[in-house]
């Protein structure tokens, strides 16, 4: 029996659910009657989710659109008759019709421009005279004025600039698109909340909210992706589908346009750390419509994507494209690959031979496995790292030596948890991994998180208890006397040294073992020079063998009672040492 992953089906079902059940409770856009005397104001219906009509070209390139956007970003405000803050933009020189304003210009501002997050996107209004629109009126979001909007806008641009700075200016369009697609999918998650007017629980629809909260709906994904790519000089627009209540992007490489849907390619919010789907990456119109994933009868795009150049080409890439000096790596199917965007070819480096086994069956026969590949991939400090179901592997793509197993997850009895992804960060020398452990990758419910540094396996013997961790090759193990310098008012012992290393620990070697030696700070002369561990076991032995009569005790029971009290004291102290050491070595920071 095979157990099949259903992450893509889950997203499709979720979106269909949103169309059928959530549309009635989504916030509606409205127009307000803000007309001056003698000027007619038209109430807008709910605007169609369109980016332009057939043959209209890119509306965002029109002079009127650019003029309105520029004026709104100047944040000139006034107060309407109801005391609400708004911006009014005169457009009388552009001779605009109401249909264009209602169905194209204004909806596009809300569904394409990430920097207009400070406006109330639930509605807009306009004034007319002689059948032409004279001015457009946009209200500010609740609690926001021009000064607050300026502060928020500066923060948004600073956050976005930090992401853009991660791109190499020398990259071509493909590299920039892959970088932003994967960055957004890896660092942000889908906001599964819905609009609740009673609890005021609003899902995040704008790019700024997504940058701050780390979650957003498809519109936030699309707005943020468009903004970041345009900052990198890549042509990118938003595409929307009323039937699916969904929005994504269309990008240009060379002279051709391609669809990318970061929302549907995002697996990270399901706990599949370090993994990004590319099923909806650089697709043609025909590819997107194939199978009904994006219904062609319901979505509108400012341009058509007629080139099938990349259709299906990246569909088996389940990790981000990781950028190393002079090379781009990914996991494609079950292979670690190097990708060349110039030749548009994959070079196979390794077949990974990894499986996520659910059960082995009786006597190891039969059994089942998850039908998928759940390896995350990161590049740090010149090494590629990925996970199997229970191990982390390290690989040098330059030397191409055999991969090293740098960590192995030891399942607790009865647990069916497996590693379904990894994240990593570095301070420039040490790599720290976050592993997501689950028994069912379809649930998206992480049962356990494990934090581990990357490198050789090290065993530490501390106060009678053994710990295992890992250390990068060539580095001094991170557990030194500073971690054992616990408060003297709590622990009455002093760390002496790591046994056999009076000058300090050497650089780590594979499978090394280090044992800590302590001195007890007590008045008992016969105990002062013994290590804490040796004292503990000595007392246990003394409880069985110590001569009683020669030590001045009236009865053996008196000596036993004294030893029991010492044993209890040492046991409590040992437990405290173990807890403190474990927190120092394994605690999240």
pLDDT in tens, 25-73: 332 232 333 333 223 332 222 222 233 333 333 343 378 888 999 999 9
In a domain, 176, yes or no: no
Q: What share of the chain is helix, strand, coil (3-state, %, to 5)?
A: 30, 30, 40
Report pLDDT for 26.
Answer: 30
The angle subtended at Cα 144 by Cα 138 and Cα 149, nearest 5°, is 85
Rounded to an integer, what distance in angstroms lies between the CA atom of residue 259 and that of residue 256? 10
Mean pLDDT taken over the chain: 76
For the cut 90, the answer to whether the pLDDT of residue 508 exceeds it is no
- The residue ranking higher by pLDDT, 266 or 35, is 266
In a domain, 252, yes or no: no
CA diameter of the chain: 118
Which residue is associated with the tokens 């009786």?
Answer: 362
Rounded to an integer, what distance in angstroms lies between the CA atom of residue 242 and that of residue 295? 10
Which helix (H) or strand (E) covers residue 358, if one does? strand 356-359
Contact status, residue 338 vs residue 329, Cβ threshold 8 Å = yes
- Dump pLDDT digits (tens) for 479-489: 555 445 443 43
Report pLDDT for 1.
Answer: 31
Q: Give the end of a domain, one of 112, 144, 176.
A: 144
Report pLDDT for 111.
Answer: 84
Report pLDDT for 583.
Answer: 59
Torsion angle of C-alpha atoms 466, 471, 473, 478, degrees rounded to 10: -100
- Contacts for 435 with CB less than 8 Å, ≥ 6 apart: 273, 387, 392, 409, 419, 421, 422, 449, 450, 451, 452
Report pLDDT for 82.
Answer: 78
Report pLDDT for 455.
Answer: 63
How many C-beta neighbours within 10 Å does residue 102 have?
21
In a domain, 50, yes or no: yes
- The residue ranking higher by pLDDT, 541 or 430, is 430
Contact status, residue 236 vs residue 230, Cβ threshold 8 Å = yes
In a domain, 424, yes or no: no
Report pLDDT for 369.
Answer: 85
Rounded to an integer, what distance in angstroms lies between the CA atom of residue 139 and that of residue 86? 4
Rounded to an integer, what distance in angstroms lies between the CA atom of residue 200 and that of residue 133? 35
The number of distinct structural domains making up the chain is: 2
Lowest mean pLDDT, pick from 63-67, 234-238, 497-501: 497-501
How many C-beta neighbours within 10 Å does residue 503 have?
7
Over residues 421-430, the mean pLDDT reads 79
3-state secondary structure 472-529: CCCCCCCCCHHHHCCCCCCCCEEEEEECCECCCCCCCCCCEEEEEEEEECCCCCCCCC
Report pLDDT for 434.
Answer: 87
Report pLDDT for 268.
Answer: 79
Query: How would DSSP label each residue in 431-484?
Result: EEEEEEEES-TTT----EEEEEE-SEEEEEEETTEEEEEEE-TTSPPS--HHHH
The angle subtended at Cα 326 by Cα 325 and Cα 332, nearest 5°, is 95
Q: Give the end of a domain, one of 122, 144, 166.
A: 144
Which residue is associated with the tokens 């509605």?
Answer: 123
- Residue 161 CA, chain-centre distance (Å), reads 18
Helix (H, G, I), strand (E, B) or coil at 405: strand
For the cut 60, the answer to whether the pLDDT of residue 244 exceeds it is yes
Which helix (H) or strand (E) covers residue 229, if one does? helix 218-231
The HSE-up count of residue 548 (CA atoms within 13 Å, CB side) is: 14
Over residues 422-428, the mean pLDDT reads 81
Percent of the chain with pLDDT over 70: 66
Over residues 524-540, the mean pLDDT reads 45
Contact status, residue 319 vs residue 336, Cβ threshold 8 Å = no
The DSSP call for residue 156 is H
Q: How confident is the model at residue 291 (pLDDT cuts 50, 70, 90)?
A: low
- The residue ranking higher by pLDDT, 467 or 232, is 232
Lowest mean pLDDT, pick from 323-337, 434-448, 490-504: 490-504
Over residues 100-110, the mean pLDDT reads 86
The HSE-up count of residue 252 (CA atoms within 13 Å, CB side) is: 14
Lowest mean pLDDT, pick from 68-82, 104-118, 351-365, 427-441: 351-365
Q: Which of 66, 287, 323, 299 is CA-nearest to residue 177? A: 323
Q: How confident is the model at residue 541 (pLDDT cuts 50, 70, 90)?
A: low
Lowest mean pLDDT, pick from 118-132, 281-295, 373-387, 463-477: 463-477
CA pseudo-torsion sign 578, 579, 581, 587: positive
Lowest mean pLDDT, pick from 57-61, 110-114, 226-230, 251-255: 57-61
Tokens of 296: 């062609």
In a domain, 490, yes or no: yes
3-state secondary structure 161-217: HHHHCCCCCCCCHHHHHHHHHHHHHHHCEECCCCCECCCCECCCCCHHHHHHHCEEC
In a domain, 351, yes or no: no
Lowest mean pLDDT, pick from 91-100, 155-164, 524-533: 524-533
Rounded to an integer, what distance in angstroms lies between the CA atom of residue 311 and that of residue 283? 5
In a domain, 543, yes or no: yes
In a domain, 435, yes or no: no
Q: Give the end of a domain, one of 111, 144, 177.
A: 144
Helix (H, G, I), strand (E, B) or coil at 252: strand
Report pLDDT for 562.
Answer: 66
Range(s) of the domain holding residue 502 = 456-586
CATH of the domain at 556: 2.60.40.4270
């Amino acid at each position: 029996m095979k157990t099949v992953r259903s992450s893509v089906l889950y997203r499709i079902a979720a979106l269909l659910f949103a169309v059928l059940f959530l549309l009635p409770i989504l916030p509606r856009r409205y127009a307000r009657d803000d007309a001056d005397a003698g000027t007619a104001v038209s109430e807008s219906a709910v605007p169609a989710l369109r980016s332009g009509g057939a043959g209209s070209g890119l509306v965002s390139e029109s002079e009127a659109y650019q003029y309105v956007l520029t004026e709104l970003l100047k944040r000139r405000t006034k107060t309407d008759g109801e005391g609400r803050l708004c911006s009014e933009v005169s457009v009388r020189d552009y001779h605009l019709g109401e249909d264009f304003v209602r169905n194209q210009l204004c909806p596009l501002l809300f569904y394409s421009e990430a920097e207009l997050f400070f406006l109330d996107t639930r509605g807009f209004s306009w004034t007319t005279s002689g059948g032409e629109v004279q001015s457009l009126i946009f209200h500010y979001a609740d609690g926001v004025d021009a000064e607050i909007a300026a502060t928020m806008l500066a923060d948004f641009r600073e956050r976005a600039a930090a992401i853009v700075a991660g791109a190499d200016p020398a990259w071509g369009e493909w590299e920039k698109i892959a970088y932003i697609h994967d960055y957004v999918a890896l660092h942000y998650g889908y906001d599964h909340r819905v609009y609740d007017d009673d609890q005021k629980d609003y899902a995040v629809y704008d790019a700024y909210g997504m940058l701050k909260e780390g979650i957003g709906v498809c519109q936030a994904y699309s707005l943020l992706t468009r903004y970041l790519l345009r900052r990198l000089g890549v042509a990118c627009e938003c595409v929307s589908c009323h039937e699916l209540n969904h929005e994504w992007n269309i990008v240009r490489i060379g002279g051709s346009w391609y669809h990318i849907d970061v929302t549907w390619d995002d697996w990270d919010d399901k706990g599949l750390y370090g993994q990004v789907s590319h099923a909806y990456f650089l697709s043609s119109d025909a590819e997107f419509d194939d199978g009904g994933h994006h219904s062609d009868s319901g979505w509108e795009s400012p341009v058509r994507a007629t080139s099938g150049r990349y259709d299906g080409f990246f569909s088996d890439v389940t990790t981000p494209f990781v950028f190393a000096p002079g090379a781009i790596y990914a996991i494609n199917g079950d292979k670690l690959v190097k990708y060349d965007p110039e030749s548009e070819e994959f070079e196979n480096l390794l077949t990974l031979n990894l499986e996520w086994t659910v059960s082995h069956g009786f006597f190891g026969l039969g059994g089942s496995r998850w039908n998928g590949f759940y390896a995350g991939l990161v590049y740090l400090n010149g090494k590629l790292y990925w996970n199997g179901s229970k191990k982390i592997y390290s690989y040098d793509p330059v030397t191409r030596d055999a991969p090293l197993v740098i960590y192995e997850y030891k399942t607790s009895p009865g647990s069916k948890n497996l590693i379904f992804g990894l994240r990593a960060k570095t301070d420039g020398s040490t790599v720290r991994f976050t592993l997501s452990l689950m028994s069912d990758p379809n649930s998206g419910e992480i049962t356990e998180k494990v934090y581990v540094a990357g490198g050789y396996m090290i065993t530490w013997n501390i106060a009678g208890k053994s710990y295992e961790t890992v250390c990068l090759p060539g580095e001094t193990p991170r557990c030194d006397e500073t971690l054992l310098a616990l408060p003297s008012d709590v622990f009455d012992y002093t760390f002496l040294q790591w046994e056999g290393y009076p000058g300090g620990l050497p650089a780590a070697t594979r499978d090394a073992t280090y044992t800590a030696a302590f001195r007890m700070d007590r008045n008992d002369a016969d105990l002062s020079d013994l290590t804490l561990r040796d004292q503990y076991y000595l007392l246990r032995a003394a409880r069985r063998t110590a001569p009683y009569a020669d030590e001045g005790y009236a009865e053996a029971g008196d000596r036993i009672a004294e030893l029991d009290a010492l044993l209890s004291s040492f046991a409590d102290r040992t437990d405290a040492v173990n807890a403190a050491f474990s927190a120092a070595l394994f605690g999240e920071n």
